[in-house]
Every structure is written in C-alpha cells, then in structure tokens.
Amino acid sequence: MARAATVGSAGAVGVSVVIVNWNAGPALDLCLASVPAAPGREVILVDNASTDGSTEWARTHRHDLKILETGANLGFAAGANRGAAAARGAVLVFLNPDARVLPGAIDALVAALDAAPGAGIAGGGLQDERGRWQPGAARFAPVPHLLLDTTLGRLPTRGRREAHAVDWVYGTFMAIRRDLFRDLGGFDARYFLYGEDLDLCWRAARLGARSIHVPEARAVHGRNLSAVQRFGAGREAEVVKGEMRFYAAHRGRAALAAYRAVAACKFGLKAVLAAGIHSHDALSYVRVVRACLSFQPETSWPSP
C-alpha cells in the first residue's frame, strides 16, 4: 500500500530519501525528525512488516511521507529497491532508520556527488551518539579489508575532511544517482542484510562509476537496532557472511579462500583476547569463526 507524497508536488523532486524500517522503535522518530520536508525533496518510508508501531506513529505524525508497506520482512536490499522504484528524485539517498543526519548533511552529500567527476555513489561520514568517529568506507581486496580497515589501519584517514575516492561506502547513509541505480538493477536482493552496499559499489565500479566518501556530510549512527533484534550476538557473523557472499560471487575462489582464512584467524584471536578479559564479545567472535569455517558458497544465500 502506498500513500501519495506531498513533497515536490509543486515542483520537480531532486532528491528522494529512502528509509527502510523494521521495528526501529523510537529511533525511527529521531531519524525522520532529522530529515524535515524541504523543497525538491521527498521522503519514502518502506516498512518491512514492523510490529512495534513505529511506522504507524510516523504515518500519524509525518503527513509529508510516502509510505510503502511490503507486507513482509524483505531485508534491506529488497526493501530499498521497493523505495527506489517509487522514487522521483534524480538522486537517491538511503538512510538507516537507526541513524539521523546532522543539519545540512543531505545537501552536502548530494553536492559532493554532483561536484565529483565520474562519481556515481557517495557515502557520508558517520559518528556514534557520543560524537566518536565511525568508519563509513572500506576496501575491496579481502586481506587489506580485514587487516587495514580496522581502528589502527584507518588512523591516516580519520582526520580527512575533504571528499575523496574510496572502493566502497556503507549503506548507512549513501547517495547514488538514480539512473546509475537503475542501470545496476538496484541492490542485489539476495543479500538480506550486509554485503549489499559492497556489492553495489563493486558493480558500479565495473561500469566506471566511482564511489566517494564525504566526511563532512555527517550522520549519527545508533546501535544497529533491527540487526540486533534479528541476529543478537550473531550480528558480526552475519556481516562476515555477507562479505563472503560477495567474494564468492564476484572475486573468485582465491579471494574467498584468503578472506575466510584471514577472518578466521583475526576473529579467533579476538575471541581469545575477549575471553581473557571475560568480555561478552567473545561469543560474537566465536560465531564469526564458525561462520568462516562452515561457509558454503553454493547454499549461502539466505531466505527471509
């Protein structure tokens, strides 16, 4: 079911903000409040059969929204594709419901995308609720990704303020030209959650469209509420599974084998260290190791 949007009815829509919700609770209210109505902008809320009343609250309090009810928890990729299909903007901005953008961030992200020659995708800078920096971009190659896309490995780039080219950006707060999204066929809907942003940027790069990271277009990212509800302590393992699906699909057996081996060693060490200090993270890391060892590419695509 879709309810017609009022945003942009008096003129062309330049930007469509797509938010996919599944039981985000009060975080969705904060997310939507950070994206007020603006000329040339529409906001599309895709609801994946939430049961917590969050979408109903939005329906009552935000009359400028276009709300799409999918009727089932389709996952992020398929839900985002539904929102994009209903969008009218030349640029699509995907925003997680557990994130909220700081003032001017959407305009800054879109402006940076417009200003960067050859860029098709732009990812915003991320921070946690205490203002601490979070990663928003990463590398394609499996071993550099696992060893350099870490706290220490990212130190040289944490202080950068200008927009710069990267391999791929996180879908937490991402802008993409709608014509490019259409040419790519959208997100690969086989990814339920995690890996779809990596996959999209990889396929865009194969078409010659660059991805850029825009640190100054900032969003505050919360605690992965929907993912924690669904996966609990297995959330980190689902991230790794999503990335292994990508390597199996696009980079071949050698890349997958390298990722599997390095990830198993990395998270095995983290599990030992976490257990040594009696951290609850130890269980999460053990599940990652199990996922690495048991992953089977032929049967890896999940069902909702």
Looking at 38-42, 52-56, 187-191, 296-300, which range is the least confident one? 296-300
| pLDDT, tens digit (0-9, with 9 covering 90-100), for 89-103 | 999 999 999 999 999
Q: What is the pLDDT of residue 303?
A: 60
pLDDT at 298 over 80: no
Paired tokens of 167: 């391999």
Q: What is the pLDDT of residue 9?
A: 40
Instruction: State what percent of residues in the chain have pLDDT above 90.
Output: 84
Residue range 188-201: mean pLDDT, rounded: 96
In whole angstroms, how far apart are CA 189 and each of 11, 49, 75, 77, 197? 32, 17, 8, 5, 11
Q: What is the pLDDT of residue 133?
A: 93
In whole angstroms, how far apart are CA 143 and each of 135, 186, 245? 17, 27, 15
Measured CA angle at 211 (ends 238, 98), to 5 deg: 45
Predicted confidence band of residue 159 (pLDDT cuts 50, 70, 90): confident
Q: What is the mean pLDDT of the chain?
A: 92
Q: What is the pLDDT of residue 5?
A: 33
Q: How far apart are the C-alpha atoms of 209 and 298, rounded to whole Å?
A: 29
| pLDDT, tens digit (0-9, with 9 covering 90-100), for 34-56 | 999 899 999 999 999 999 999 99
Residue range 5-23: mean pLDDT, rounded: 75
The residue ranking higher by pLDDT, 2 or 188, is 188
Q: How far apart are the C-alpha atoms of 220 and 123, rounded to whole Å?
A: 13
For residue 175, the cross-strand partners are 93, 122
Q: What is the pLDDT of residue 234?
A: 82
Q: How far apart are the C-alpha atoms of 261 and 207, rounded to whole Å?
A: 30
Instruction: State what percent of residues in the chain have pLDDT above 70.
Output: 92
Q: What is the pLDDT of residue 231?
A: 64
Residue range 162-183: mean pLDDT, rounded: 97
Q: What is the pLDDT of residue 6?
A: 32
pLDDT at 283 over 80: yes
pLDDT at 268 over 50: yes
| Nearest alpha carbon to residue 270 among 286, 291, 294 | 286
Q: What is the pLDDT of residue 279?
A: 94
Q: What is the pLDDT of residue 2?
A: 36
Q: What is the pLDDT of residue 47?
A: 97
Q: In a 3-state reduction of DSSP, which class is residue 21? A: strand
